[in-house]
Structure 1
């Protein structure tokens, strides 16, 4: 089956709504994080049927997603930044870290395609067109020096919405990815808009401990003990 092309409708950079003093400090990566430098971005997607509510507006929905993402990035501020590498001469070494001075924001894309939910779910294998629902498809973690560490693509289907999310694997593991996604859902459902600092039930742990005899700051993925909670963006 030949699938139609995915059309990019809009492309934004979303910055944290508030920038704390903590967010102005670099986030250093541990040897465990650096081991993921050649791995692909984590990619997860959620598929929703359009609500039966006739008052649903894709424009209003996207505006709410962007506003709540900005509020969520206030807590997960490293995801708005980029990677940087510093070369040291004595001793010879390279240091890779998340640079707060290079923090243009997370990327948010709105796209559309003339496909139905059945077109996606009916085939035995996942259709190749689904790869186009993730703009960071095939990107590796090292690309985070130029590419955003977090990339969200909302694809509008004929009868549904697909929310694809790509996160740099040096910055987050699978559990911390869902922690972010569930926190974003929590902020979205709070329906608090404007210049409001929205709290979340489980703030991320960004600054990590330093083991004895080591000069490396461990900044392992935000949290890794949260169980997956089904998030809910569309009611």
Structure 2
């Protein structure tokens, strides 16, 4: 944390029910493994501040625990197996119920208007609204596969999160967030999307996939000299009205 953002608490939220019907290991496809050294995606959601009688933090934590019962791979960890017979390593998602990280922070001097700035520039403090920065998917060996930071502001709430690409893609994460939202608001998880746990492998591809140790630790390729001469891109804020969104959907 830094600047106007103060960390209040950090905890691990585990699934309310640790029985995952014997599902403990999810093998990873070649595409999954190609993302090992890529940064974990980070996203953020901005909400108006709820009524004072709404127990925001306790409600979010308890509903997250319930949501993790359904989407239990998010509560797991990335696991690595050393194959001594051929000097390779293999990776899989271990659905061990270790839990997701939940951070509670405050930024009482900031308001929603400080984030949604009319000139479109991303404020410097926004990086402190997220639970981590610079984590790679391979860090799932020691870090949670999902982390959430809830930052209470003067007139709003910012929910920042990261997820590990070894456990889910963007569609799966939105399904998870939708289910979590339903549980938090109504206590019901009915109608949630069923989980697809078995990865699809091409015919003839055996798993777990063995990767040479040097390949598993190799960083992603750097931009070529031609690309490195391109001006550095800047983050920007774009505003879409409610009508714009409805027209897109």
* Contact map agreement 1:36 1:141 (CA 8 A) in 2: yes
SS in 2 for 1:179: helix
1:1-235 superposed matches below 5 A: 4-22=3-21, 24-51=23-50, 53=51, 55-57=52-54, 60-101=55-96, 103-113=97-107, 114-122=109-117, 123-191=119-187, 198-216=189-207
2:177 and 2:207 map into 1 onto residues whose CA distance is 28
| Post-superposition offset of 1:191 | 2.4
- Structure 1 alignment gaps of length 5 or more: 193-197, 219-235
Cα distance in 1 between the residues matched to 2:208 and 2:191: 26
Contact kept? 2:39, 2:134, Cα under 8 Å: yes
Alignment partners' CA distance in 1, 2:180 and 2:22: 18
C-alpha displacement at 1:209, in angstroms? 4.0
Query: What is the deviation of 1:76?
Result: 1.2
Contact 1:23 1:100 in 2 (8 A): no
> When the two structures are superposed, what TM-score results if normalisation uses the length of structure 1?
0.80
Q: Secondary structure at the match of 1:74?
A: helix
* Structure 2 residue aligned with 1:230: none
Q: Deviations over 1:55-76 (max 9, x none)?
A: 434xx11111111111111111
What's the CA shift for 1:199? 4.3
- Cα separation, partners in 2 of 1:174 and 1:199, compared to 1, 3 Å: same
Report the number of matched residues.
Answer: 207
Where do 5+ consecutive residues of structure 2 fail to align?
A: 210-249
Question: What TM-score, normalized to structure 2?
Answer: 0.76
Measured in 2, the distance between the counterparts of 1:68 and 1:137 equals 25
- Cα distance, 1:187 vs. partner? 1.7
Gap change, CA 1:22 and 1:35, over 3 Å in 2: farther
Partners in 2 of 1:88 and 1:100 — Cα distance? Answer: 21
What is the distance in 2 between the residues matched to 1:179 and 1:94? 31
SS at match of 1:115: coil
Q: Give the Cα–Cα distance (whole angstroms) in 2 for the partners of residues 152 and 23 of structure 1.
A: 27
CA contact (8 A) 2:26 2:199 kept: no
Residues of 2 paired with 1:120 and 1:23: CA distance? Answer: 44
Separation (CA, whole Å) in 2 of partners of 1:70 and 1:144: 20
> Which structure's CA Rg is the greater one?
2
Alpha-carbon offset, residue 207 of structure 1: 2.1
| Shift of residue 217, structure 1, vs aligned partner | 6.3
Judged with a 3 Å threshold, the aligned counterparts in structure 2 of structure 1 residues 81 and 21 are, in CA distance, closer, same or farther, namely: closer
Over aligned residue pairs, what C-alpha RMSD do you find?
Answer: 2.2
